[in-house]
Amino acid sequence: MSLDNATGLTALKGPLTWTSERRMVLVNNRQFRIKGINWFGFETPDNCVHGLWGGLSKTLTDYLDLLAFHSFNAIRLPFSVKLALALDTTYPEPGFVQADASLSSLTSGQIMEKLVEEAGKRGMMVMLDQHRLDPDRGISDLWYDEGYEEPVILRSWDIMLARFKTHWNVFALDLKNEPHGPCSWGSGEALTDWKAASERIIRHIAAAHPDFRGLFFVSGIWGGGGHWWGGNFRRVREHPVDVGSTGLNRRVVYTPHVYGPDVFPQSYFSSWSFPDNLPAVWDLHWGFLSGVLETAVVVSEWGGFCRGKDAKWQERIARYLREKGMADNFYWCLNPNSGDTGGILLDDWSTMHEQKLKLLRDVQPEPSRLLPLGTRKAPERGAGASGRSEAADYRYELGVPTPAFSLKTSPASQTSGCCGCFGQEARRR
């Protein structure tokens, strides 16, 4: 690590190593402040991120430019296990990439790779999120089912990592989206213990892909009682994830999901003291982690239409995340067609939701920035030779101010209803 005399910015020497320590996400021992967004579609039967279909005028890079302009520095990219197993033989549904001619002949895997590469050019990290097993079904309660047993899950991660681990900006893996139903934590039950399963998955990836130096995001479970799917970490205090290696344990991130009254009418939303009663609820479910463990906690889904009671909820959790030192987050979502939340884009896929953007600036006002300074050729011979060009050094900025608006934005009063999305109406209930 040194100072770039030309820019006055910190230069990090590659390769990049990501860790979760001192309650922070670190890259080469420097704090990386995440301002992230979810962009869904690859986990649906459409087999592509949404917003590129006929009738719209935005290309893949248009959306990435828009996100970069608003200082988003990370994308959580949902995919299905079924797609991962057939990356190079699966194509988007007909008409779903008509707005971007450069994608017209590409497989879903090639489009995903182009997204990752273009995001990297704009200094945006990518987290691969195993969101569904099968796109034709909803979110599975367990990490496997009768059609996708655990060995198949591990194989799907092998395929994804073989394709993406050499991309410098693929910095994290979300191992399983929203465990719920019979999923348990630290129970010792082989068929339901998500903690034990996450440890097995991490060990497998570390052994099979030692050159992947990124993070492992682990969700909680459900358990009823007002928790959200993947948002119950109450047993982590006594049973933290332990992979059996200090180095691997330092790459684990706990990642709760939390939502407001737009998604489901939890009983605590009806309290006379709403929204000031909510910090005690969040403390009980997952907020306590910041006071008992050194592991980073990153909320990887939160959001809503941001109107009426939901707007009060979003304002309160935004304040809570700042106060708890948990400002790293991924907002749900870019897409306006999330049936129970809407997105930071309105239904025209062009107009931005100004109130949501302001909230996100308030939560993470100084997101980090990381860009390659140069490249070097991978070794021609010997272990690890790939022949690919990879980033050698990186320009690192901590606390880059969000630029003033110059793009089309909209006040909350203009937020329109959602278009609906496959499976979204039941995705968290």
Res 378: pLDDT: 39
Superfamily, domain 2-426: Glycosidases (3.20.20.80)
What sign results for the dihedral spanned by CA atoms 120, 122, 124, 126?
Answer: negative
Place of tokens 């203009």: 414
φ, ψ at 129 (rounded to 5°): -115, 110
Q: How far apart are CA 58 and CA 64, in angstroms?
A: 10
- Domain parsing of the chain, residue ranges: 2-426
In whole angstroms, what is the distance from residue 152 CA to residue 388 CA? 28
pLDDT the model gives residue 389 = 44
**Over 60: is that where the pLDDT of 142 sits?**
yes
Q: Which helix or strand (DSSP H or E) is residue 204 part of?
A: helix 194-208
Average pLDDT score, the chain: 88
Contact 335, 10 (CB under 8 A): no
Q: What is the pLDDT of residue 12?
A: 83
Environment class of 379 (CB within 10 Å of its CB; exposed 0-12, middle 13-18, buried 19+): exposed
Render 61-105 in DSSP notation, one character per residue. Answer: HHHHHHHHHTT--EEEEEEEHHHHTTTTT--PPTTTTTT-GGGTT
Active site residues: 178, 301
Rg of the chain (C-alpha set): 20
**Which residues pair with residue 306 across a beta bridge?**
none
Among 149-153, 168-172, 417-421, the least confident range:
417-421
Residue 161 has pLDDT above 60, yes or no: yes
Residue 412, pLDDT > 60, answer: no
Q: Give the per-residue pLDDT at 374.
A: 63
- The partner residues of 64 in beta bridges, in order of sequence, read none
Cβ 243 vs Cβ 197: under 8 Å: no
* Phi, psi angles (nearest 5°) of residue 31: -65, 135
pLDDT in tens, 341-394: 999 999 999 999 999 999 999 999 999 999 887 644 433 433 333 334 455 677
**Whether the predicted pLDDT of 41 surpasses 90:** yes
d(Cα 19, Cα 251) in Å, to the nearest integer? 5
pLDDT value of position 390 = 53
Q: Is the pLDDT of residue 217 over 50?
A: yes
